[in-house]
A and B are shown apart, each in its own frame.
Chain A
Amino acid sequence: LAKTTQPISMDSYEGQEVNITCSHNNIATNDYITWYQQFPSQGPRFIIQGYKTKVTNEVASLFIPADRKSSTLSLPRVSLSDTAVYYCLVVGDDKIIFGKGTRLHILP
């Protein structure tokens, strides 16, 4: 399973754009990059997935360079309710393993 590396924690302010970068140097051809969000005392929630280039949905954007060895989750105009742990995972057709994630703290 490809290992991912992401910052342990980040702080930002309401209204700012937040970018969380994840590196996955050993990503395999069949792997997809997937991000989950977890609020305290809740299960993680799937927020976005991509294979290459850029993916955007109503929650976030995901930028993946051509070599796919890293990816950046972009959260536009964050609010206090975006305070959560964000997990970057590389997923093939096998079970997924969660790392420690990035603890994002949004300040007023």
Chain B
Amino acid sequence: ETGVTQTPRHLVMGMTNKKSLKCEQHLGHNAMYWYKQSAKKPLELMFVYNFKEQTENNSVPSRFSPECPNSSHLFLHLHTLQPEDSALYLCASSQAGIERYGYTFGSGTRLTVV
């Protein structure tokens, strides 16, 4: 148990489906992140939330829609995805402003788009 829980662990969806990924942290952190990791590629930072406010969107297509209702929960809403969106989606949390203290990552959601 890393303190950051992601559900589901695996997801298969069609290109016309709508699904959501969920992330929950019980570490008292106030910053949360979504990363995408495609096969044999570096982790790509997608979104950053500090104190529930989105502070960064790294040119992510609009078919990915994040939501952060509070500092403990983060969602990634998915719709009309493409096969190239198949990847491991990782959520992380940290203490905003002192990121050098480290990020805690969840185990990820393995997404397959068919």
Interface size on B, residues (CB 8 A): 26
- Residue of B2, B102, B108, B110 ringed by the most chain A CB atoms within 10 A: B102
Which of B14-22, B65-73, B78-86, B91-99 has 4 or more CB atoms under 8 Å from chain A?
Answer: B91-99
With A41-B108, A95-B56, A101-B42 in contact, do A46 and B102 touch (Cβ < 8 Å)?
yes
Contact B99 A95 (CB under 8 A): yes
* Chain A residues whose CB sits within 8 angstroms of the CB of B104 once the complex forms: 46
A95 / chain B contacts, CB cutoff of 8 Å: 33, 45, 48, 56, 99
A91 is an interface residue with CB less than 8 A from chain B? yes
Task: Verify A43–B105 contact, CB threshold 8 A.
Answer: yes
Distance between Cα atoms of A26 and B113 in the complex (Å): 40
- Once the chains bind, are A43 and B106 in contact (CB under 8 Å)? yes
- Check B88 against A49 for contact (C-beta < 8 Å): no
Q: Is A98 touching B110 in the complex (CB atoms < 8 A)?
A: no
Residues of B within 8 A of A76 (CB): none
**Cβ-defined contact, A43 with B108, below 8 A:** yes
Is B105 in contact with A45, judged by CB distance below 8 angstroms?
yes
Q: Name the CB-closest residue of B to A31.
A: B100
B-facing mask of A23-59, CB < 8 A → 1, else 0? 0000000011010000001111110010000000000
When the two chains form their complex, are residues A93 and B92 in contact, meaning their CB atoms are under 8 A apart? no
Closest CB in chain A relative to B53 CB, distance in Å: 14
Instruction: State the CA gap A42–B104 with chains docked (Å).
Output: 12
Sample 25 A-B pairs with CB under 8 A, ordered by A number: A31-B100, A34-B100, A41-B107, A41-B108, A42-B105, A42-B107, A42-B108, A43-B2, A43-B90, A43-B91, A43-B107, A44-B103, A45-B2, A49-B100, A91-B99, A92-B99, A93-B98, A93-B100, A95-B56, A95-B99, A96-B103, A97-B45, A98-B42, A98-B43, A99-B42
